[in-house]
Amino acid sequence: MSASLSRSTKRIAVLAVALSSALVAAGCTSNDPATTPAASTQQASNAVSDNDAPGKKVVIGFSGPAADHGWLAAVNNSALAEAKKYSDIELKAAEGTNDASAQIAQIETFINDKVDAIVLLPTDGAALTEIATKAMQAGIPVINVDREFSSPFAARATILGDNYGMGVSAGTYACKIVKDKNLTNPVIAEIAGIDALPLTQDRSKGFADALKACNQTVDNRVAAEFTVESGEKQASNLLQAAPKIDVLWNHDDDQGVGVMAALDQANRHEMAFIGGAGSANAMRWIQEGKMEATVIYPPTQAADGIKLARLIAQNKGLSDLVQVEVPNRVVLNAPVVTKENVEQYLPLGFES
């Protein structure tokens, strides 16, 4: 892929390498200042790593879906906020859209503008693959966020939350509850998101696979639409369908507000209620004891995408890795937040 780099980029790359080696010589290479002799000076400047030091000015194009729910809003906002932290990033943020053809037009504009890198959270990975490949062929590195392209040639780097892993985390935790409470024939229910999306299918598959490990299956399943209203609606019907529920996994904490309203309305709090995504609301519920746990799906992916785009455009690597280039693929972990560790995750929680 480096073969497609333009000459000017190469020249700048050489410069960047020279600059960074100079910084290496100065001794500020690591994220762990205590191990370096120059620790005190580094702490004073408050730099995490030399990668954060201003480098070549880069223009990054950012395009994502319309932020129609809390998680996506958090994704967009954190991306914009991250870009502002760097004086060497000029961010061109396209208006969020749920229309794949409109998003394709945005990427075409970025290509015509000859931006240095594109961070793309596609409305639909497959639909945006063609145009992303074109951008790559034009020598613009594309960083694919969250929803994956259908071709490996369409992205220089891919950063994803782990949807399947989210399901596995939730399912494994459900198994733990079943085991801890010593339930013989537990009723396990699932409120999924939009069923047509691969991410929902992945989450459900992970959940089912993890439940298989403890010989359990999903007894009742409904699909909502990631909105508060649909969550309330589906949960109300679900509660009628299952007079008693032991474990309930709701894929998304935004629709979870509606699910919680339905649980309150029906006065049904007998089940261990597990959430998904990790909103601030969910974390507060966990603190209050109204919710058992939630599985994180990081809303900081696009922000990480911006960081990676900057590093790639400046020809830098990840400072914590020995490898000199940014990895092709970063899959984020899907940890379970419970009462024990909620304080640690609360700052990451997004307001829905």
Partner 1 sequence: MSADVTKVDQAGEPVAGRTEGEATATPSGPPVGGAAPRREGGLAGFLSGPAGRNAGLVLALLLLVVVGIITAGDRFASPENALTILRLGSVIGVVSVGMTFVISGGGIDLSVGAIVALSSVWATTVATQTMAANYHWIVLVFAALVVGAVCGLVNGVLIAYGRMAPFIATLAMLAAARGLAEIIAKRRTQIIRERGFIDFFGGSVLGIPVLVIMFAIVAVVGWVLLNRTTFGRRTLAIGGNPEAARLAGIRVQRQTMYLYILLGVACGIAAVMIMARTTTGTSTHGTLYELDAIAAVVIGGTLLSGGRGTIVGTVLGVLIFTTLTNVFTLNNLDTSTQAVAKGAIIVAAVLLQQRVSRTRSG
User: Applying CB under 8 A, which residues contact partner 1?
Assistant: 67-70, 73, 195-196, 219-223, 225-234, 236-241, 243, 254, 257-258, 260-261, 264-265, 281, 351-352
CB 119 within 8 A of CB 145: yes
Distance CA 273, CA 287 (A): 13
Nearer to partner 1, 144 or 352 (CB): 352
CB 219 within 8 A of CB 213: no
Nearer to partner 1, 55 or 70 (CB): 70
Q: Which one-letter amino acid corresponds to residue 22?
A: A
Nearer to partner 1, 221 or 251 (CB): 221
Nearer to partner 1, 204 or 300 (CB): 204
Nearer to partner 1, 200 or 315 (CB): 200
Nearer to partner 1, 133 or 227 (CB): 227
Q: Which one-letter amino acid corresponds to residue 215?
A: N
For the bound state, the minimum distance from the C-beta of residue 276 to partner 1, rounded and expressed in Å, comes to 15
For the bound state, the minimum distance from the C-beta of residue 291 to partner 1, rounded and expressed in Å, comes to 15
For the bound state, the minimum distance from the C-beta of residue 77 to partner 1, rounded and expressed in Å, comes to 9
Q: How far is CA 204 from CA 173, 179, 247, 250, in A?
A: 14, 21, 15, 10
For the bound state, the minimum distance from the C-beta of residue 7 to partner 1, rounded and expressed in Å, comes to 42
Distance CA 203, CA 251 (A): 8
Task: For 251-337, list the strands marked E by DSSP.
Answer: 272-277, 293-296, 329-331, 336-337
Residue whose tokens read 């940014």: 326
Q: Which one-letter amino acid corresponds to residue 335?
A: P
For the bound state, the minimum distance from the C-beta of residue 115 to partner 1, rounded and expressed in Å, comes to 25
For the bound state, the minimum distance from the C-beta of residue 254 to partner 1, rounded and expressed in Å, comes to 7
For the bound state, the minimum distance from the C-beta of residue 287 to partner 1, rounded and expressed in Å, comes to 16
Query: What is the sign of the dihedral through the CA atoms of 246, 337, 147 and 94?
Result: positive
Structure tokens at 167: 């399901």
Query: What is the sign of the dihedral through the CA atoms of 228, 234, 240 and 242?
Result: negative
Distance CA 292, CA 294 (A): 7
For the bound state, the minimum distance from the C-beta of residue 339 to partner 1, rounded and expressed in Å, comes to 21
Nearer to partner 1, 117 or 260 (CB): 260
CB 344 within 8 A of CB 283: no
Distance CA 218, CA 198 (A): 19
Distance CA 342, CA 338 (A): 6
Q: Which one-letter amino acid corresponds to residue 339?
A: K
Nearer to partner 1, 222 or 313 (CB): 222
Nearer to partner 1, 160 or 239 (CB): 239
Pairing of strands 58-63, 117-120: parallel
Q: Which one-letter amino acid corresponds to residue 214?
A: C
